[in-house]
Amino acid sequence: MDAATTVFLSLGLAADAFAVAVSSGLAIKHMKVNKALKIALFFGGFQALMPLIGWFVGLTFSFLITPIDHWIAFGLLSFIGGRMIYESLQSQECEKKFNPLDTGTLITLSVATSIDALAVGIGFAVLKDSIALAVTAIGFITFFLAFAGVFIGHKCGNLFANKIEFLGGAILIFIGSRILFMHLTEVPLVMGH
């Protein structure tokens, strides 16, 4: 996967964490840099760890799925992207008060926002793409977006969260479609071997 695609993938995966970071910023009364750093470290760390775990799982079972790897990557990214778009369109009327700085809450939020990255890691394994650049990009981009998101939420409120999640979902669907298209257009060359 080229660097530009990796960056777009990272941005798409970070959209959930950014949206939750914005919501977290809303709940923080007295904003300090260390509070935003804590949230960003959790989100960025889990977003980097989960694709790595997915990659190891995918490598273990790659011999079973290599013939259909492009369909798996397309399906996973489209499903994740579609779910993000669906969730972005849902009403936020029932938002509960929570303490985003509580470690247990942060772990729960971090896992919830990084499940998508686990599935992407599996996709990297079946496509035999290098995971190092992806893990680094996903972790750093999520960290910086979450850090900024906490401050944006604290200052601007809940105006952007759903729009960002929608955009992130659309990016993931685009990347999945691109993987499928690129593989399908190469099929005649592979079949000729």
Q: Are 12 and 169 in contact (CB under 8 A)?
A: yes
Q: What is the residue-wise DSSP string for 12-23?
A: HHHHHHHHHHHH
User: Is the pLDDT assigned to residue 193 strictly greater than 50?
Assistant: no
CB count in 10 Å sphere of residue 81: 24
28-74 pLDDT tens trace: 878 899 999 999 999 999 999 999 988 888 888 766 666 676 677 67
Q: Give residue 97's pLDDT.
A: 53
Q: Are 47 and 17 in contact (CB under 8 A)?
A: yes
Q: Are 42 and 110 in contact (CB under 8 A)?
A: yes
Q: Give residue 59's pLDDT.
A: 80
Instruction: Tell me which H or E stretch contains 174.
Output: helix 161-191
- Give 78's pLDDT tier (boundaries 50, 70, 90): confident
Q: Give residue 98's pLDDT.
A: 57
User: Is the pLDDT assigned to residue 157 strictly greater than 70?
Assistant: no
- Record the tokens describing residue 187, joined without a space: 């099929």
- The upper half-sphere exposure of residue 35, i.e. CA atoms within 13 Å in the direction of its Cβ, equals 20
Long-range contacts of 184-188, Cβ-Cβ distance < 8 Å, separation of 24 or more: 184/70
* Model pTM score: 0.69
For residue 153, give the nearest of 100, 94, 117 by alpha carbon.
Answer: 100
Q: Give residue 27's pLDDT.
A: 73
Q: Are 90 and 142 in contact (CB under 8 A)?
A: no
86-96 pLDDT tens trace: 877 775 544 44
108-155 pLDDT tens trace: 888 878 877 888 888 788 777 778 888 999 999 999 999 999 998 888
CA distance 90 to 162: 9
Q: For 158-186, give one letter per residue: b (16+ CB within 10 A) or e.
A: eebbbebbbbbbbbbbbbbebbbeebeee
CA distance 22 to 158: 7
User: Is the pLDDT assigned to residue 162 strictly greater than 70?
Assistant: no
Helix axis angle for 33-60 and 3-27, nearest 10°, is 140
Give the rounded percent of residues in the chain with a pLDDT score beyond 70.
Answer: 80
- Give 159's pLDDT tier (boundaries 50, 70, 90): low
- Record the tokens describing residue 156, joined without a space: 């601007």
